[in-house]
Amino acid sequence: MFVIDSYSTEVFFCLITMISWGSSSNTQKLVSPDWRVELFCWDYAFGILVMSLIFALTMGSYGIEGRSFIADIQQARIESIANALLGGIIFNAANILFLTAVSIAGISVAFSVGSGLSLVIEVIVNYLTSPIGNASLLFSGVLLIVIAILLNTTAYTRMSTAARSISIKGLLISIISGILMGLFFKYVTNSMFLDFKVPLEGKLSPYSAVFIFAVGFLISNIVLNTFIMFKPIVGIPVKYSDYFKGTFKNHLLGFIGGAIWCIGMSFSIIASDKAGTAISYGLASGAIVVASIWGIYFWKEFKNAPKGTNYILNTMLVSFLIGLILIVISR
């Protein structure tokens, strides 16, 4: 299988993850206004599964390092498979809530609050498991990102109060999503052998782990998304028949969104070998900055905000960027 040999290359892979994760939600903004989040999630799950399989059968099956995909799956212990499946289940619950938050509060708010919170939790959890890097620099970066989250929430509150349309539900859903999203990554990494050049018996390669994760994501979608369809957080219930009434464009955008996200997930996992899981996930979560830029400058989510809000938003982005730089150099 393909294995990275240098830290600089792994940082580059994390940057690809950052762009992928920060941009995948744009596909939801591009679907028809009447195409519900619950229906979008089905195609998103298919996109993740198909892309994970492509990675497993290509990069995960060729090369002299590690162990090939098919052989890796055949020797995996139930415990390793269960961990990767659990990661997929937890992330799916977080993702459904996250996409709902995007539809209510916008990309910049959902990402900054939800993904920002998940970054803080994930970095702490992964550092305790695998303490790689300078703790002072790493957690100083995390602190700056917490400040950025608070600034973004302040900007959203100012705008929504001025428009008399503040969505407490959108903020709460973002927070719950962030907590769940901050827990899934450790289960995926627990399923793998962490030195990718030295396969451990019973453990999964990074490519196999992402594929099993995707299977867990799709299987849990049958239960979780079905429940949300019949008991929606926002709007009226939807039926399975509504999914088949969707246009080709709506289905394709959902699939592409999932595929783009899976590229980021795969690259982040591959990069965790040299960088360590805490730094890999922390750097990749620069997606928050990318998504905020999309939401603020492309989708104009704060165009009607009161005077002074742009200053808060710009300070937020600077705080995010400095925090991410500290996370990178902590290695």
Q: Is the pLDDT of residue 78 over 90?
A: yes
Q: Is the pLDDT of residue 312 over 60?
A: yes
Q: Which of 209, 248, 171 is nearest to 83 (CA)?
A: 209
Q: Is the pLDDT of residue 191 over 90?
A: yes
Beta bridge partners of 238: none
Q: What is the CA radius of gyration of the chain?
A: 19
Tokens coding 138: 């790493």
Q: Is the pLDDT of residue 165 over 60?
A: no
Beta bridge partners of 192: 204
- Mind listing the pLDDT tens digit for each residue in 94-138? 989 888 887 787 766 776 777 778 878 877 887 887 787 888 998
Q: 20 in a domain, yes or no?
A: yes
Q: 154 in a domain, yes or no?
A: yes
Q: 1 in a domain, yes or no?
A: no
Q: 229 in a domain, yes or no?
A: yes
- Mind listing the pLDDT tens digit for each residue in 242-285? 999 999 999 999 999 999 999 999 998 998 876 666 667 666 66
Helix (H) or strand (E) holding 70, with range, is helix 69-75
Q: 246 in a domain, yes or no?
A: yes
Domain that holds residue 23: 7-329
Q: 241 in a domain, yes or no?
A: yes
Mean pLDDT comparison of 27-41, 142-156, 262-276, 298-312, highest-scoring range: 27-41
Q: 59 in a domain, yes or no?
A: yes
Mean pLDDT comparison of 145-154, 172-181, 289-298, highest-scoring range: 172-181
Q: Which of 291, 242, 248, 233 is nearest to 34 (CA)?
A: 242
Residue 11: CB atoms within 10 A of its CB come to 18
* Residue-by-residue DSSP string for 25-64: THHHHHS-TTS-HHHHHHHHHHHHHHHHHHHHHTTTTSSS
What is residue 276's predicted lDDT score, i.e. its pLDDT? 64
Q: 2 in a domain, yes or no?
A: no
For the chain, the domain total comes to 1
pTM: 0.84
Q: Is the pLDDT of residue 213 over 80?
A: yes
